[in-house]
């Protein structure tokens, strides 16, 4: 058992490392591809060479980032087969479909048109080249769609049915998988956050050029376009973030409770704006969960359900089960984790009886076991737990990551408004050194905010690999923990080298551009 848990922990660490490194490249690819397409559109409409030269500069930075993103993404997909083979068997028919579509269609679409985008200048017509640039940007977004559909399905499994004869889940409705509310909201939230990150990157690099006292016109053009893309992207990210909160409340209430450090919920639940968790608080003691907090009255009820009188359950409520009448007179109820564990074990035992009856040719017992399995299958994953507390995610990491994401988003809103104000109303302010430093330092800030969002999404749903159906301990491959540890440290070295190469190449190209006039 100890080695099993070690394999689980090291495999999770390896996957988290790969995913977070990959996510350093993905949102910038999404954002820059859109900004580059807009810049080339300006060139196509105005026929001004300065827009073409500016497009080429940002296109080069996009290409460097795109290549690194592809390298890390391939490794990420292979890990499902090497480290999570039980998961791949259990849901491969469903999870593999969007990944296959992404590889066959979206990735090849990107690869085809990115070649025209980079090498087609003066070889194809201006219209065809513009179309290739937009199709590359569309391919990037399409690629993200299928990856996010797969990820969203893990958090809200829909459009599938368990086949006891194959011992795996099979897809019964493709549209339910693709167009689930979680998948669509997650897709748009991710794309718009990519616009936000791309906008910050463009504004920040432009500030570096101003700091070096070069390319003022190019920097001003970039700040205006990048600022608008980033601002619009951020506002839409906030809108879809509100939708995400509603989805989490509905389908992953334990994640929402962890995001708030909420142990005992109530009708008209407040939202913690700023707070410090009590590190000694657990589900087994009665200590106050917060050392310090500033609460927004009714905030969490409004955020989760768009209703100030609604009930929001806490961790203890979910573990113990509850039946409560909320402020609107509606009865809200949920089973305890103890009952869910019992039903999960009943489903697993029914599955074993089903196979025994099938082997013995006992059709009546087989049919009875199948009915019990179907009645309790929604709790199948709880059967792997030995105690309810195993269903609680890491509260502190989820809580603080959520606040980094939200507070960082508020800062970015002010940042874009200030950048656009300077670009349009107070251009002389762009000569001030402290403004340059704000722009430059905001580049790492937006990445921290972006990574924090993924930590909330993925850590908050632990211990589930598939919500309610398969915890991480059941999804792992039968391998030695030492093998995972070796590859983990190998990946640390490889990814560190890749990051150093990516950052150094980007900085070199930006530095080269700052020593000459891009638009001449």
Mark whether 356 and 292 lie in a shared domain: no
Mark whether 426 and 351 lie in a shared domain: no
Residue 35 falls inside a structural domain? yes
Nearest C-alpha neighbor of 469 from the set 391, 356, 392, 368: 391
Residue 264 is predicted with a pLDDT of 92
- Mean predicted confidence (pLDDT) in 137-164: 90
Q: CA-CA distances (angstroms) from residue 230 to 53, 69, 415?
A: 22, 21, 10
Q: How confident is the model at residue 314 (pLDDT cuts 50, 70, 90)?
A: very high
Residue 346 falls inside a structural domain? yes
Mark whether 18 and 35 lie in a shared domain: yes
Rounded-to-integer distance, Cα 513 and Cα 520, Å: 11
- Mean predicted confidence (pLDDT) in 244-264: 92
Task: Give the SS3 label for residue 252.
Answer: coil
pTM for the full predicted model: 0.92
Residue 519 falls inside a structural domain? no
Residue 520 falls inside a structural domain? no
Mark whether 269 and 223 lie in a shared domain: no
Mark whether 71 and 216 lie in a shared domain: yes
| High-pLDDT (> 70) share of the chain, % | 98
- Mean predicted confidence (pLDDT) in 221-238: 95
Residue burial 109-118, b: 16+ Cβ < 10 Å; e: rest: bbeebbebbb
Least confident window among 69-78, 161-170, 303-312, 338-347: 69-78
Q: How confident is the model at residue 15 (pLDDT cuts 50, 70, 90)?
A: confident
Residue 379 falls inside a structural domain? yes
Mark whether 124 and 51 lie in a shared domain: yes
Rounded-to-integer distance, Cα 221 and Cα 512, Å: 19
Residue 422 falls inside a structural domain? yes
Mark whether 330 and 343 lie in a shared domain: no
Q: CA-CA distances (angstroms) from residue 127 to 117, 122, 236, 385?
A: 12, 11, 30, 59
Structure tokens at 195: 């616009």
Q: How confident is the model at residue 8 (pLDDT cuts 50, 70, 90)?
A: confident
- Mean predicted confidence (pLDDT) in 178-204: 94
Instruction: Please determine, for residue 4, whether its predicted confidence score (pLDDT) is greater than 70.
Output: no
Residue 157 is predicted with a pLDDT of 92
Encode pLDDT of 125-135 as tens digits: 999 999 999 99
Residue 2 is predicted with a pLDDT of 53
Q: How confident is the model at residue 376 (pLDDT cuts 50, 70, 90)?
A: very high
CA atoms within a 13 Å half-sphere pointing along the CA-CB vector of 392: 25
Encode pLDDT of 332-374 as tens digits: 788 999 999 999 999 999 999 999 999 888 889 999 999 999 9
CB 440, CB 239: distance < 8 Å: no
Q: At which of 317, 334, 351 does a domain end? A: 334
Residue 85 is predicted with a pLDDT of 85
Mark whether 246 and 270 lie in a shared domain: no
Residue 234 is predicted with a pLDDT of 96
What's the structural domain count of the chain? Answer: 3
Question: Hey, how many other C-beta atoms are within 10 angstroms of the C-beta on 359?
Answer: 9
- Mean predicted confidence (pLDDT) in 218-238: 94
- Mean predicted confidence (pLDDT) in 472-497: 87
| Cα 201 off chain centre by | 19
| Cα 283 off chain centre by | 28
Burial classification of residue 294, based on how many CB atoms lie within 10 Å of its CB (0-12 exposed, 13-18 middle, 19 or more buried):
exposed
CB 208, CB 440: distance < 8 Å: yes
Mark whether 422 and 465 lie in a shared domain: yes
Residue 3 is predicted with a pLDDT of 56
Mark whether 374 and 267 lie in a shared domain: no
Rounded-to-integer distance, Cα 23 and Cα 458, Å: 13
Query: What mean pLDDT, rounded, does the chain reach?
Result: 89
Mark whether 194 and 128 lie in a shared domain: yes
Q: How confident is the model at residue 1 (pLDDT cuts 50, 70, 90)?
A: very low
Least confident window among 85-99, 263-277, 354-368, 430-444: 85-99
- Mean predicted confidence (pLDDT) in 386-405: 93
Helix (H) or strand (E) holding 413: helix 395-424
Nearest C-alpha neighbor of 134 from the set 45, 232, 38: 38
Instruction: Please determine, for residue 196, whether its predicted confidence score (pLDDT) is greater than 70.
Output: yes
Domain of residue 379: give its range: 338-388
Residue 82 falls inside a structural domain? yes
Least confident window among 87-91, 228-232, 406-410: 87-91
Instruction: Please determine, for residue 404, whether its predicted confidence score (pLDDT) is greater than 60.
Output: yes
Residue 100 is predicted with a pLDDT of 82
Residue 207 falls inside a structural domain? yes
Higher pLDDT among residues 513 and 376, named by residue: 376
Encode pLDDT of 466-480 as tens digits: 999 999 988 888 888
Residue 5 is predicted with a pLDDT of 59
Mark whether 367 and 408 lie in a shared domain: no
Residue 479 is predicted with a pLDDT of 82
Instruction: Please determine, for residue 78, whether its predicted confidence score (pLDDT) is greater than 50.
Output: yes
């Amino acid at each position: 058992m100890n080695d099993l848990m070690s394999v689980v922990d090291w495999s999770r660490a390896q996957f988290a490392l790969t995913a977070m490194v990959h996510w350093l490249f993905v949102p910038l690819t999404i954002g820059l591809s859109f900004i580059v397409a807009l810049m080339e559109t300006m060139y196509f409409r105005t026929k001004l060479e300065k827009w073409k030269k500016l497009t080429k500069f940002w296109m080069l930075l996009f290409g460097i980032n795109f290549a690194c993103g592809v390298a890390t993404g391939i490794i990420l997909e292979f890990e499902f087969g090497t480290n999570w083979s039980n998961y791949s068997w259990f849901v491969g028919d469903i999870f593999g479909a969007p990944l296959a579509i992404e590889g066959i269609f979206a990735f090849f679409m990107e690869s085809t048109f990115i070649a025209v985008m980079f090498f087609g200048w003066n070889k194809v017509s201006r219209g065809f080249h513009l179309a290739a640039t937009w199709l590359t940007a569309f391919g990037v977004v399409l690629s993200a769609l299928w990856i996010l559909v797969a990820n969203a399905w893990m958090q809200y499994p829909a459009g599938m049915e368990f086949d006891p004869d194959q011992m795996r889940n099979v897809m019964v409705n493709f549209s339910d998988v693709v167009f689930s509310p979680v998948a669509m909201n997650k897709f748009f939230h991710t794309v718009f956050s990519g616009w936000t990150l791309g906008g910050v990157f463009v504004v920040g690099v432009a500030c570096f050029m101003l700091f070096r006292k070069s390319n003022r016109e190019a920097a001003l053009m970039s700040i205006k376009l990048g600022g608008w893309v980033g601002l619009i992207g951020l506002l839409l990210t906030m809108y879809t973030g509100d939708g995400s909160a509603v989805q989490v409340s509905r389908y992953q209430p334990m994640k929402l409770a962890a995001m708030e450090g909420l142990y005992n919920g109530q009708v008209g639940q407040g939202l913690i704006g700023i707070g410090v968790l009590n590190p000694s608080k657990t589900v087994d003691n009665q200590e106050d969960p917060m050392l310090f907090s500033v609460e927004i009255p009714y905030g969490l009820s409004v955020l989760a359900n768009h209703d100030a009188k609604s009930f929001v359950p806490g961790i203890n409520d979910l573990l113990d089960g509850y039946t409560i009448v909320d402020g609107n007179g509606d009865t809200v109820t949920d089973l305890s984790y103890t009952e869910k564990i019992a039903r999960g074990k009943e489903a697993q035992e029914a599955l074993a009886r089903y196979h025994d009856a099938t082997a013995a040719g006992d059709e009546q017992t087989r049919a009875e076991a199948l009915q019990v399995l179907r009645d309790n299958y929604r709790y199948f994953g709880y059967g792997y737990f030995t105690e309810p507390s195993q269903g609680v995610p890491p509260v502190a990491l989820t809580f603080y990551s959520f606040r980094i994401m939200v507070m960082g988003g508020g800062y970015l809103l002010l940042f874009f408004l200030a950048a656009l104000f300077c670009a349009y109303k107070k251009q002389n302010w762009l000569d001030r050194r402290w403004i340059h430093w704000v722009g430059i330092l905001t580049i790492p800030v937006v990445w921290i905010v972006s990574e924090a969002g993924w930590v909330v999404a993925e850590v908050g749903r632990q211990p589930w690999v598939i919500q309610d159906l398969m915890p991480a301990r059941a999804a792992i491959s039968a391998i030695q923990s030492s093998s995972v540890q070796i590859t983990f440290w190998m990946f640390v070295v490889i990814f560190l080298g890749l990051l150093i190469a990516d950052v150094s190449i980007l900085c070199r190209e930006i530095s080269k551009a700052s020593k000459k006039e891009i638009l001449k």
